[in-house]
Amino acid sequence: MRTCRRTVVGAAAVALLAAPAGVAGAQEDHGGIETVATGLSGPRQVSAYEDDRLLVAESDSGEVASVDPATGEVTTLVSGLQFVQGVDHRGGQLYVAVGTAEPEPGAAPPPEPPAVGQGGPGLVVTDAEGIVVETIDLLAYELANNPDGQTQFVDGAPVDALSNPFAVLAQRGRVLVADAGANAVLSVDRESGEVSTFFVPPVVDDVPGCEGAPNNPGTTGCDSVPTGVAEGPEGRLYVSTLGAEVAGAARVYVLDRRGEVVDVIEDLTSATGVAVDDDGTVYVSDLLEGAPVGEGPPAPDFDPATVGEVVRIDGEDRSTAQVTMPTGLVVSDGELYGAAWSIAAFLMLDHPGEVVRIGSDAFAE
């Protein structure tokens, strides 16, 4: 399926005029942030695609879109799914990470989980025309293998029932999936579909707010929660983790090709995406920086456009760019792109999702 939905460069200003007061100026006030496409529905992961285009996973509409950053044209490639959160491509196929709705507190899992892509979590493989050719049930793998070793209890019975794939990286022989529910990065063999555990980030217990914090029975500390996976120079892999949205608990784990840790980037908060350029500079989305989390209702003049930032990490040096509610990031053709306003609908804000180009002059110490 290839449906051209809209051409939005030039229309972006119109969309911003319909947003709450103060929203339009927030993007314009930060030099170097350029909206290249708008009208998206809960954009999550952004990946490089063919012909200098970008792939965007749209969680709210259950679609995968192609974006031309030169013109702003948005074309639907895949539709009819639910909770589309991650996407990448290789060998003429699209690899789509589909999540699941948050379960009600204390609720037992359904007797028969919904199908993958229709409320059930997993990896959906489509051809170039958006036709589904295979589905991989990652919840089944979680239930059978429990990579993080944690167990929940519902009505006194042990249940380890969470899988919520959030980002994917398609490589030559495998697809790596950052599964935020399973607290693990999984590897799916591209030929056989066999699933294995690639990396399990440890529970964080060395920052205030996580040390001794109650978790599942037998566990304390903050779950790492993988949210992004990217490849950098020399084949190194970078995995961003949310860190339970506790200040300083988010991490980026730097791994070798086998999944062994070679470095850890610490002191981050609510990391929801990661990208690496050819020089090894790391970019991390911070979804909730500036949000009044745990501080009661926001002030009447609170501007939601000020929530979120992208952190640039070049060795020991760090700088930030204000990007509204960012998630997925990608470096494509030397340019950094990110999903913005990615959870606006979840926060009941009347603002479309966007893909933005983040220039180097947007970053400040």
Output the DSSP codes for 271-303: EEEEEE-TT--EEEEETTTT--TTSSSPPTT--
Range of the domain at 254: 3-108+120-362
Domain-embedded: residue 196: yes
- Measured CA to CA in angstroms, residue 71 lies from 52, 67, 270, 330, 357 at distances of 11, 8, 32, 18, 13
- Contact assessment for residue 330 and residue 351, using Cβ atoms and an 8 Å cutoff: no
Distance CA 51, CA 345 (A): 30
Which among 13, 125, 15, 116 is positioned nearest to 64, based on CA atoms?
Answer: 125
Distance CA 200, CA 180 (A): 11
How many CB atoms lie under 10 A from the CB of residue 325?
29
Domain-embedded: residue 7: yes
Residue that the structure tokens 């709705």 belong to: 101
pLDDT for res 111: 67
- Contact assessment for residue 178 and residue 225, using Cβ atoms and an 8 Å cutoff: no
Domain-embedded: residue 290: yes
pLDDT for res 25: 31
The ranges of the chain with pLDDT < 50 are 1-30
Residue that the structure tokens 């926001």 belong to: 298
pLDDT for res 183: 93
Domain-embedded: residue 115: no
Residue that the structure tokens 């400040």 belong to: 364
3-7 and 73-78 strand pairing: antiparallel
Domain-embedded: residue 113: no
How many Cα atoms occupy the beta-carbon half-sphere of 226 within 13 Å?
A: 32
Domain-embedded: residue 280: yes
Q: What CATH number did the domain enclosing 91 receive? A: 2.120.10.30
H helices of the chain, in order, are: 12-17, 23-28, 138-145
Of the chain, the end-to-end C-alpha distance in Å amounts to: 44
Domain-embedded: residue 16: yes
- Contact assessment for residue 44 and residue 342, using Cβ atoms and an 8 Å cutoff: yes
pLDDT for res 7: 31
Write the burial class of residue 14 (CB in 10 Å: 0-12 exposed, 13-18 middle, 19+ buried).
Answer: exposed
Task: Look up the pTM and report it.
Answer: 0.88
pLDDT in tens, 265-276: 999 999 999 999
Domain-embedded: residue 140: yes
- Contact assessment for residue 345 and residue 40, using Cβ atoms and an 8 Å cutoff: no
pLDDT in tens, 121-164: 999 999 989 999 999 999 999 988 989 888 765 555 555 568 99
How many CB atoms lie under 10 A from the CB of residue 80?
11
With residue 167 as reference, give the H or E element that holds it.
strand 165-170
- Look at residue 345 and give its three-state secondary structure: coil
Number of structural domains in the chain:
1
